[in-house]
Amino acid sequence: MQSSFIITGNLVNIEKRFIHTANVHVENGKIISIEIKSKNENASLPYILPGFIDSHVHIESSMLVPSEFARLAVVHGTVATVSDPHEIANVIGMKGVEYMIENGKKVNFKFYFGAPSCVPATVFETTGAALDSSDVETILQKPEVHYLSEMMNFPGVLQHDEEVFKKINAAKKLNKPVDGHAPGLRGEQAKQYIDAGISTDHECFTEAEALDKLKFGMNIIIREGSAAKNFEALINLLNHYPDRMMFCSDDKHPDSLVEGHINSLCKRAVAKGIDVFNVLQAACINPAHHYQLNTGLLNVGDVADFILVNNLEEFKVLQTYINGKLVADNGKTLIQSVPVNPINNFSANEIGVDDLKVVATSFPFLENKIPLIEALDGQLITNKIYVQPIIQNDIINCDIDNDILKIVVVNRYRQAPVAKAFIKNFGLKKGAIASSVAHDSHNIVAVGCDDISLAKSINLIIQHKGGVSCVDETDEKVLPLPIAGLMSDDDGYKVAAAYTAIDAMAKNLGATLSAPFMTLSFMALLVIPHIKLSDLGLFDGDSFSFF
């Protein structure tokens, strides 16, 4: 593409809050001049905006390597992400973080990575790697690393854990912000957590919780991922705190990424009556300032990172420019795929049906009832309920009529007994689904109606050394994820199509959740209350101990 060009359109100056018809002159990747042609808008011209920034995302959750994520994201006007490589770090450690950084460098997109702060997230699960404070400080010193990733160990912060504070202080010493992760934390404890230097949170369940954290100086990130969503709960705050809020996807599956990204949140926010300049400040400006990103904000002298949209209601992206180069044009990505070398940490033998039986005498009971995980659509949080089980010959079985299915977690790193429990709200009437994407340690998690189907779904994952699968008595589908058991090495659009097919199969088997595989991936996430299952057993998130 030519190194010098002029774009004419309705220039949206977010910080000064005006829209003028203008010529934007780009030369050698930078904006060298902006000529205001008229102080009035011209409806026949596109609107020129700074590019969108996803303020917190785990690229791995898209099942795509960074270079493929970029190919899909630029179509929606995203020019940069604040990316936490926490998932691959739990599997492979520092080598995984370096893998993400190096792959991201191969394409014209702005990945701003963080140093994972909690690997492992807890001591109550088996993980593939660990990063201590010395490792975290080493990662923070990399120029590609811009912040300390979400500090999930908020009990460690509140208890002044020495190792936790070494990580926080390493970030402070380098003048790099610290991201938070403290679902439900309120009042004096929230203040103590924030006073330690934690600057953001994307885990607020309610407006009241977000207000509590805003009051103590925290920035709030509105999250709308494939499973976890708080847009509806928090969006009205944007009219009152426009300089303190951002947008993120956190965890987004490939089919969702094909449909839209931060642009979709802008459209929804404006439709709800939120001031368009506030919306764009959250989507484009605040993350660049907060994380000190080298991303152009449509000023003279800036790097030419900007987008053209049809209007400020639909936010249909017409073109995306990064470093002065056109990377997406009318819904088509112009970023080419690059070669990908697999990297993994997977050591598990196939399991048998007998490994999955739940013996009643070995399972926790309370007054003849067993604890049950109640999954919630659109939430990472789960409810803890107690139900009367079906027991035959001392074996607890599924109760499909009442939507009580079996959930199991299989250690992917070494041979170990299978952890087993029961779960509600997946809705399957037959068959099973399984995944090696299972936050945070990424062992194999599966939910199913019978042990034969469960074993079949799990063994498909083991055979491919990672993936997602869906099976019934006559059919099976698997999407292999050979890179850390988290990501595919294939074209992003092909991966999205394959995921759409396997998601459809799960829903044909009765799955009622909007994103069953994404919800499944969080059922081993112990740091989110109230009840989860790790490879070591059923975990009570309220007492932070096993049943």
- Is 218 in a helix, a strand, or coil? coil
- Using CA atoms, how far apart are residues 72 and 78, in angstroms rounded to an integer? 9
Q: How does residue 543 score in pLDDT terms, banded at 50, 70 and 90?
A: very high
Determine how β-strand 404-410 pairs with β-strand 419-424.
Answer: antiparallel
Q: Where are the CATH 3.20.20.140 domain residues in the chain?
A: 52-295
- Using CA atoms, how far apart are residues 87 and 349, in angstroms rounded to an integer? 22
Look at residue 421 and tell me whether its pLDDT is greater than 80: yes
Q: Are 217 and 462 a contacting pair, CB within 8 Å?
A: no
Tell me which architecture the domain covering 52-295 has in CATH.
Alpha-Beta Barrel (3.20)
Residue 390 region, left (φ>0) first, then alpha (ψ -120 to 50), else beta?
beta
Q: How does residue 228 score in pLDDT terms, banded at 50, 70 and 90?
A: confident
For residue 452, report the phi and psi dihedrals to the nearest 5 degrees: -65, -45
Return the sign of the alpha-carbon dihedral for residues 450, 451, 455, 461.
Answer: positive
Q: How does residue 2 score in pLDDT terms, banded at 50, 70 and 90?
A: low
List strands edge to edge, sheet with 4-13: 30-38, 18-27, 4-13, 47-50, 306-309, 317-322, 325-329, 332-333
Q: How does residue 1 score in pLDDT terms, banded at 50, 70 and 90?
A: very low
Per-residue pLDDT of 492-532, as tens digits, reads 999 999 999 999 999 999 999 999 999 999 999 998 899 99
Return the sign of the alpha-carbon dihedral for residues 64, 518, 363, 431.
Answer: negative
Q: How does residue 441 score in pLDDT terms, banded at 50, 70 and 90?
A: very high
Among 112, 9, 51, CA closest to 304: 51
- Using CA atoms, how far apart are residues 63 and 494, in angstroms rounded to an integer? 11
Q: How does residue 384 score in pLDDT terms, banded at 50, 70 and 90?
A: very high
- Is 435 in a helix, a strand, or coil? strand
Mean pLDDT, all residues of the chain: 96
pTM beyond 0.85: the answer is yes
For residue 156, report the phi and psi dihedrals to the nearest 5 degrees: -65, -35
- Rg of the chain over Cα atoms, rounded to whole angstroms, equals 23
pLDDT score, position 379: 85
* DSSP codes, 354-372: GGG--BGGGS--BTTBEEE
Determine how β-strand 432-435 pairs with β-strand 444-448.
Answer: antiparallel
| Mean pLDDT in residue range 466-470 | 98
By CB atoms closer than 10 A (0-12, 13-18, 19+), residue 118 is: buried
Q: For residues 522-536, b (16+ Cβ closer than 10 Å) or e, as one string?
A: bbbbbbbbbbbbbbb
| Mean pLDDT in residue range 275-291 | 98
Determine how β-strand 18-27 pairs with β-strand 30-38.
Answer: antiparallel
Number of C-beta neighbours around residue 541 at 10 A: 18
